[in-house]
Structure 1
Amino acid sequence: MVALYWSHCHNVFFPLVWIPHVLCFPLCYLIRTKPLQIWDKEVVDGHIKRPQDEDIKSNVLEIVGTNVQSTYITCPADPAATLGIKLPFLALVVKNLKKYFTFEVQVLDDKNVRRRFRASNFQSVTRVKPYICTMPLKLDDGWNNIQLNLTDLTKRAYGTNYVETLRVQVHANCRLRRVYFSDRLYSEEELPAEFKLYLPIQKS
């Protein structure tokens, strides 16, 4: 079963995937014709391309730049808009390019305060400031499924309750396969095929 989720971004309907016991909202999926339909991008001394990855034999988004802060994709595209996604788990399927990489998510808490969580593979300690929490990120070689429990992060960092996600921003340097939200953490076996890290081989 697929329900429709009303996105705040450009008044576009996107599918809210629901099968028994699985609820996921795909924000970016590289098999789509327009995977960045509701995203904006910024490129300085770098590139954003859609090559075919040699490991998974499928199109991905490659975000590469000499400065991680100046090459990125951001959603929603309109800087004044917000996502309004209330699902508390954020997942990113990314490939480790063995270069500096960072991403961040902006949330709203029950104190009506906007908080940002930024994860970077070049940071070694967690730092909490009033409006931003920066965290270390350890990536394995190859493809990684990064999952953030936004409810837990908001509670631990600020002692407040997560309400919704406002914005997601993915910076250089990585290859990106998918960005999605879910109602809880799912094992690889529980996920729909299109949400898994490696798509199953289609038999003729």
Structure 2
Amino acid sequence: MFASVVQPSIVSLFSSTGSAPLQLFSQHVDPAPVLRSDSLIHLLNDTTNLPPPPEPGVLVQASFTSRSSEKDDNEKADSDTQRVGRTLCQTVLHIQSPTLRTTYIRCPPHRSSSSPSKTPVTLGLTLPWMHMQVCRLGEREWAFEVGIADRAGRKGVIRCSTFQKEATVVMHHDPPLLHVPLRFPEASARPFTAWSSISIDLASLIQQFHLISSSQRAEYESFAHTQDEGHENDVPNERIAREHSGMSAPLPSGGLGKVTYVKVYANCRLRRIWLSDNKRGALPWEFELYASP
């Protein structure tokens, strides 16, 4: 999509306040009939939750309730324990589903089966930093992933999720998958907003494919050696053995070549996704978060 154009220092892929927020994305909602009310992708106002989703969709509660205007200090003191964050006075994208992996948005869009070309479309962006403004939906799990290729063309997937406990490389995934845990700040009694800004250094994470897989390999070999010595009680870790059954898969390394795709799964509210050439560059005013009064 962008490989043949001159790329500026900031490229915005998604803005919920734009005229066509999902123009660069395809949408996929879990098709199971029993989940028709729970799986949805819907644009709404973060403060009012309006407009409501089409029937039979029912919104789940987000991880906050809006602060109403306090009439006096006493009322404020009584209400603070119940209100844990301000909402945004803006339109945002609401993505929810009990089946996280089957409800998502993706850029570039999936090519339709009727398309004459079989060559997959990739983003082709070379900017190394990815940023996202997001709010979790209660205690529901959430994930997003980024497809990358190094300068030699070796591909990989970086997945960040709230349900992952430790960083691991899934070798039998095609292409290899680096799965890293995602932690949000602990809930505070007086946060300005329940929204978070996430920034990830894609170029740095490419190096973790080899570092983490080497650690996993050493752990697997240690278990295998223990078993060879006849220690029947020391059973090799099944996950490690499974991940290393395909150690011949080429791992990305070196510098970032390009970003191939971005995918955001349920469950979250999303305001913006952009890529940049550094972490702390000056941002246009419209990139900032504005809470409702």
TM-score (norm 2): 0.59
Distance 2:197 2:290 in 1: 11
Task: Tell me how far 1:157 sits from its aligned partner.
Answer: 2.2
For residues 20-46 of structure 1, what are the alpha-carbon distances to aligned partners after superposition, in whole Å with 9 as ceiling and x for unaligned? xxx211000011111110100100130
Does structure 1 residue 167 correspond to structure 2 residue 160? no
Between Structure 1 and Structure 2, the one with more helix by share is 2
- Aligned positions of 1:21-170 closer than 5 A: 23-44=9-30, 45=35, 46-54=39-47, 55-79=87-111, 80-98=120-138, 99-130=140-171, 131-140=176-185, 141=187, 142-158=194-210, 159-170=253-264
The amino acid that maps onto 1:78 is H
Q: 1:84 to 1:138 in 2, by over 3 A?
A: same
AA in 2 matched with 1:176: L
Q: Is the 8 A contact 1:107 1:164 kept in 2?
A: yes
CA distance in 1, matches of 2:110, 2:46: 30
Structure 1 unmatched ranges of 5 or more: 1-5
Task: Figure out how many residues of one structure are paired with residues of the other and give that number.
Answer: 185
- What is the TM-score of this pair, normalised by structure 1? 0.83
Contact 2:89 2:291 in 1 (8 A): no
> Structure 2 unaligned runs (5+)?
48-86, 112-119, 188-193, 211-252
Q: Assess if the C-alpha contact under 8 Å between 1:89 and 1:183 holds in 2.
A: yes
Query: Matches of 1:64 and 1:89 in 2, distance apart?
Result: 26
Determine the C-alpha separation between the residues in 1 that align with 2:145 and 2:278: 20
- Aligned counterparts of 2:204 and 2:100: Cα–Cα separation in 1: 27
The amino acid that maps onto 1:127 is: T
Aligned alpha-carbon RMSD (Å): 2.3
Partners of 1:193 and 1:199 within 8 A in 2: no
The range that moved more, 163-172 or 72-81, is: 72-81
User: What is the CA distance between 1:87 and its match in structure 2?
Assistant: 0.5
Asked if 2 retains the 8 angstrom alpha-carbon contact of 1:50 and 1:62, the reply is yes
Q: What is the one-letter code of the residue matched to 2:289?
A: L
1:138-187 deviation per Cα after TM superposition (whole angstroms, max 9, x unaligned): 12351010111001001232342211100000000000000000000016
CA positional deviation for 1:200: 10
Q: Tell me, yes or no, if the aligned pair for 2:101 and 2:265 is still in contact at 8 Å.
A: yes
Deviations 1:51-99 (A, max 9, x none): 1012111000000001100100000013420000000000011002121
User: Given that residues 88 and 292 in structure 2 are in contact (C-alpha distance below 8 angstroms), is that contact kept between their aligned partners in structure 1?
Assistant: no
Query: Match of 1:60, SS?
Result: strand
> Which structure is larger by alpha-carbon Rg, 1 or 2?
2
- Hey, which bits of structure 1, 4+ residues long, moved more than 3 A? none
**Taking every aligned residue pair, what percent have the same amino acid on both sides?**
29
Q: CA 1:193/1:199 → structure 2, altered by over 3 Å: closer, same or farther?
A: farther
Distance 1:198 1:186, change over 3 A: farther
